[in-house]
């Protein structure tokens, strides 16, 4: 089954390119959001399987968004969260491992294969 993906990033150029890249590699990109507030709305209305979530957002950071989405009340359906950033994973120290997100992909390494690896638990 094709994973339904929501892309959350405040840079429109990244969202646009990531959408085209993932679609070209067989993903179903169901929506985009530019900040945390829009992301919550989009998750509720679109119920994606995967949220590709930028860590640096203008309102709440990606770690905070991941915590909310993983929250036990079930409002958001607990989608799988994959964090992305133009920084490297090392810049965030242990925070990535400590967060409920499934994994992390540096933006310049983003490909359909990289996303599949993370989703299958290969990180």
Contact residues toward another protein (CB under 8 A) are: 11, 13-14, 17-18, 20-21, 24-25, 56, 86-87, 107-108, 110-111
In the complex, least distance from residue 84 CB atom to another protein, rounded to whole angstroms: 10
Q: How far apart are CA 100 and CA 66, in angstroms?
A: 6
Closest to another protein by CB, 17 or 70: 17
- Asked if 50 and 44 touch (Cβ cutoff 8 Å), the reply is no
Q: How far apart are CA 1 and CA 80, in angstroms?
A: 15
Q: Which of 73, 2, 45, 70 is nearest to 53 (CA)?
A: 70
Closest to another protein by CB, 76 or 92: 92
Closest to another protein by CB, 41 or 59: 59
């Amino acid at each position: 089954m094709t994973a339904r993906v929501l892309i959350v990033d405040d840079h429109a150029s990244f969202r646009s390119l990531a959408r085209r890249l993932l679609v070209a590699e067989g993903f179903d990109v169901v929506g985009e959001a530019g900040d945390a507030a829009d992301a919550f709305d989009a998750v509720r209305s679109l119920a994606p399987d995967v949220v590709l979530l930028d860590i640096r957002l203008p309102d709440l950071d990606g770690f905070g968004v991941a915590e909310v989405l993983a929250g036990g009340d079930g409002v958001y359906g607990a989608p799988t969260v994959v964090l992305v950033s133009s920084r490297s994973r090392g810049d965030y120290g242990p925070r990535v491992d400590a967060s409920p997100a499934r994994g992390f992909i540096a933006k310049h390494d983003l490909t359909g294969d990289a996303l599949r690896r993370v989703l299958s638990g290969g990180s």
